[in-house]
Copies of this chain bind each other. A is one copy, B any other.
Amino acid sequence: MKEKIILVSNDDSVYAPGIRALVEAVQPFGKVVVVAPAEPQSAMSSALTIRTPLRLKEVSVFNDLENVTAYACYGTPVDCVKLALDKVLDEKPDLCVSGINHGSNSSVNVIYSGTIAAAMEAAMSGIPSIGFSHLSFDHKADLTAAKAIVQTIIKKIDTQGMPPCHLLNVNVPDGPLTKIKGLKICRQAQANWVEAFEERTDPIGRKYYWLMGEFVNHDNAADTDEYALENNYVSVCPIQFDLTAHKDKKWLEDTWDLTV
């Protein structure tokens, strides 16, 4: 059987503990190529670098692991995946994994997440892709359970298949594996962030603002990712990149006259 080629990226940078855990988890499954940001790129969504050129640098951070090569890219998570597919890899990878993100990417956070954007970018090229996130923002959090979940998910894809969308958003609760009740297939909870910027004044009297906000969940149904995580399940949410609101398309066709 041909060895799997696995592309790994993230948004917390190639030096984050989360990507180390992810590489260790996927390394038994094939040849691993890491292309990840040189600097933290959280909340970069699907941003692209178009006004400055990109650079790639081979890094030694995974040299202790066999069959792993790694590059730092001075760009966004999506830049990393685009460069990996065009310039680093000789052939299309069999799998792309992104993460393990330090902090949840459930509900609408999927919109802002660089971790999910990296996986989405690969999925848009037809590569089965998974974004993994761990609920703790603490870079010292114990990722043992999350590593086991990564391996569980990859084995399920191998033996039970990947859905046609090619993209999964997987969030893992904090705590030991024994506390995790199982996987739950979820939809994205309907929620939003309500902003409350913190206003400060700099030493020369000019105002500046730090982004702060409160996550407001309007949707506690049992099939949401938020519900799953609150109840100690791993949330598995299949993700699409067709943003068309198909029901609203019908609504518009039935309602609007289309003259200009």
Contact = CB atoms under 8 A, between A and B. Distances in A.
A83 interface: yes
A74 to B, nearest CB: 9
Interface string A129-172: 00000000000000000001100100010001101110101000
Interface string A98-122: 0000000000101110000100100
Contacts of A164: 245, 247-248, 251
Contact of A46 (B45, B169, B183): B45
A2 interface: no
Contacts of A152: 260
A242 interface: yes
A55 B112 contact: no
A85 B196 CA distance: 10
Interface residues of A, number: 91
Given A125-B194, A160-B257, A187-B242, 8 more contacts: A40-B51, A45-B47, A53-B200, A156-B256, A169-B243, A185-B253, A185-B256, A240-B244
Identify which of A51, A161, A245, A258 gathers the most chain B CB atoms within 10 Å of its CB.
A245
Interface of A: 40, 42-51, 53-56, 76, 78-79, 82-83, 85-87, 108, 110-112, 117, 120, 124-125, 148-149, 152, 156, 160-161, 163-165, 167, 169, 177, 180, 182-188, 190, 192, 194-197, 199-200, 206-211, 213, 223, 234, 236-249, 251-253, 255-260
